[in-house]
């Protein structure tokens, strides 16, 4: 229970359908570790103490047990530190995926087993079905495609899917809010949270700098001189103040005067260079992904045709996915894709079913 309208309605629906439930909120991050200029915790609409209070109040109103599970150390080890390491390595990470698979559907499944609970339910907009013919659990998109969160769940294992329950999977967001009003939940009009819980102000670069200096002993590295901004031909046209300020496809904030708009094409960490170019140079025909997890099918030996999504809000594109060994695949698109970004996820779909997905390493 995050304290928001989605998880609150999910809990209420289960309770009202006669399920015996126990509410858990994961305490993931101490907001006092990142203060504002006046020494106060930065305001956050995700995973704050107010959210914990909201979740507890819903549990009290619905009369079911509620507990706060302190997972701060695990969250920092499994999510925050890898997030910073990715940025320092020139990748653009998605911490919510790791939080889902390593905490919500790993740690909570373990806790559920310890207390005798059969399933772990969340407020995700997704669906799980069991296919008797294949003997596999299938992850499907939520009915509300504008809120679908299956992209962030692609790492879920068959074991995790077998224990997962998504009560909102067949509902739209407007239906969820209406249900909250009908159930009398005071969080019915609570705004949604879009920011990363440990960076509520959205300043990723400053967070990476501060964390690398204070927690990873990399002060000298973070304070090294600026690097070069170059064209694909190697011409130096400017300088940057740190590669962690940029992501592939970025246009704003380059500080370069040009007759044509310039975009980040590549983040070259070994050379400390930012490579920029025109929009057409962002197009890629293929990519390589690692850490691939297959859901609707067993790990294939032959190429698979599916629709691939390279970012959460990106349109799906038809592609051929070819296994190349060691949990890696090569994805070749029928049509070139723009701004394929290392560190992001590429997720494969067959209609509304998640075939599988992996982490983008590089594009060509």
Q: Write the secondary structure of 77-126 as one string of H (helix), E (strand) and C (coil).
A: HHHHHHHHHHHHCCCCCCHHHHHHHHHHCCHHHHHHHHHCCCCEECCCCE
The class level of CATH for 225-277 reads mainly beta
* Best CA proximity match to 198, nearest among 32, 40, 68: 32
**pLDDT, tens digit, for every residue of 33-68?**
665 556 565 655 556 788 999 999 999 999 999 999
Both tokens assigned to 261? 């708009």
pTM of the predicted protein model: 0.93
pLDDT above 70 coverage of the chain, percent: 95
Instruction: Give the per-residue pLDDT at 36.
Output: 55
Cβ neighbour number for residue 70 with a 10 Å cutoff: 11
d(CA 286, CA 11): 42
**pLDDT, tens digit, for every residue of 305-330?**
999 999 999 999 999 999 999 999 99
The Cα-based distances of 49 to 2, 45, 59, 216, 291 in angstroms read 10, 10, 15, 27, 34
Please pick, among 46, 47, 96, 99, the residue that the annotation labels catalytic.
99
Rounded to an integer, the average pLDDT of 251-271 is 92
Instruction: Give the per-residue pLDDT at 44.
Output: 56
Domain 5-183 adopts which CATH fold? Answer: Rossmann fold (3.40.50)
Rounded to an integer, the average pLDDT of 20-30 is 93
Please pick, among 46, 47, 96, 197, the residue that the annotation labels catalytic.
197
Both tokens assigned to 62? 């619905």
CATH 2.40.30.10 intervals, the chain: 282-363
99 flagged as catalytic: yes
Burial of 265 (0-12, 13-18, 19+ CB in 10 A): buried
CATH 3.40.50.620 intervals, the chain: 5-183
Q: Is the predicted pLDDT of residue 225 greater than 80, yes or no?
A: no
* Best CA proximity match to 292, nearest among 342, 348, 340: 348
Instruction: Give the per-residue pLDDT at 29.
Output: 87
Q: Is the predicted pLDDT of residue 194 greater than 80, yes or no?
A: no
47 flagged as catalytic: no
CATH for 282-363, options being 3.40.50.620, 3.40.50.1240, 2.30.30.60, 2.40.30.10: 2.40.30.10
CATH 2.30.30.280 intervals, the chain: 225-277
Cβ neighbour number for residue 23 with a 10 Å cutoff: 21
**pLDDT, tens digit, for every residue of 262-291?**
999 999 999 999 999 999 999 999 999 999
**pLDDT, tens digit, for every residue of 79-124?**
999 999 999 999 999 999 999 999 999 999 999 999 999 999 999 9
pLDDT above 90 coverage of the chain, percent: 82
Give the H or E element holding residue 286: strand 283-294
Instruction: Give the per-residue pLDDT at 43.
Output: 56
Instruction: Give the per-residue pLDDT at 294.
Output: 98
- Residue identified by tokens 């390493």 is 361
Least confident of 48-57, 165-174, 217-226: 217-226
């Amino acid at each position: 229970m995050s304290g928001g309208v989605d998880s609150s309605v999910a809990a209420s629906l289960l309770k009202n359908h006669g399920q015996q439930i126990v509410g858990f909120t994961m305490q993931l991050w101490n907001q006092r570790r990142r203060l504002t200029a006046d020494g106060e915790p930065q305001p956050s609409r995700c995973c704050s103490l107010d959210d914990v209070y909201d979740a507890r109040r819903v549990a009290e109103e619905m009369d079911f047990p509620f507990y706060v599970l302190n997972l701060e150390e695990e969250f920092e080890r499994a999510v925050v530190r890898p997030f910073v390491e990715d940025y320092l390595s020139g990748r653009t990470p998605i911490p919510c995926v790791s939080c889902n698979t390593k905490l919500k559907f790993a740690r909570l499944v373990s806790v559920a087993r310890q207390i005798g609970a059969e399933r772990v339910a969340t407020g995700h907009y997704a669906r799980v079905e069991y296919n008797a013919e294949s003997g596999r659990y299938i992850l499907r998109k939520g009915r509300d495609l504008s809120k679908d969160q299956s992209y962030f769940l692609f790492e879920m294992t068959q074991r995790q899917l077998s224990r997962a329950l998504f009560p909102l999977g067949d509902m739209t967001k407007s239906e969820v809010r209406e249900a909250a009003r009908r159930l009398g939940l005071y969080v019915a009009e609570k705004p949604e949270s879009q920011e990363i819980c440990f960076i509520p102000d959205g300043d990723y670069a400053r967070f990476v700098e501060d964390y690398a200096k204070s927690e990873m002993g990399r002060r000298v590295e973070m304070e090294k001189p600026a690097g070069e901004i170059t064209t694909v031909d190697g011409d130096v046209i400017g300088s940057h103040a740190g590669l962690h300020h940029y992501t592939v496809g970025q246009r704003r904030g380059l500080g370069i005067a040009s007759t044509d708009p310039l975009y980040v094409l590549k983040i070259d960490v070994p050379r400390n260079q930012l490579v920029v170019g025109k929009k057409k140079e962002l197009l890629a025909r293929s990519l390589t992904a690692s850490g691939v997890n297959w859901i609707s099918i067993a790990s294939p030996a032959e190429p698979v045709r599916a629709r691939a999504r390279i970012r959460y809000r990106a349109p799906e594109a038809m592609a051929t996915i070819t296994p190349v060994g060691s949990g890696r695949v090569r994805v070749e698109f029928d049509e070139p894709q723009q701004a394929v970004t290392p560190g992001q996820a590429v997720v494969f779909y067959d209609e509304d079913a998640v075939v599988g997905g992996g982490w983008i390493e590089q594009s060509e």
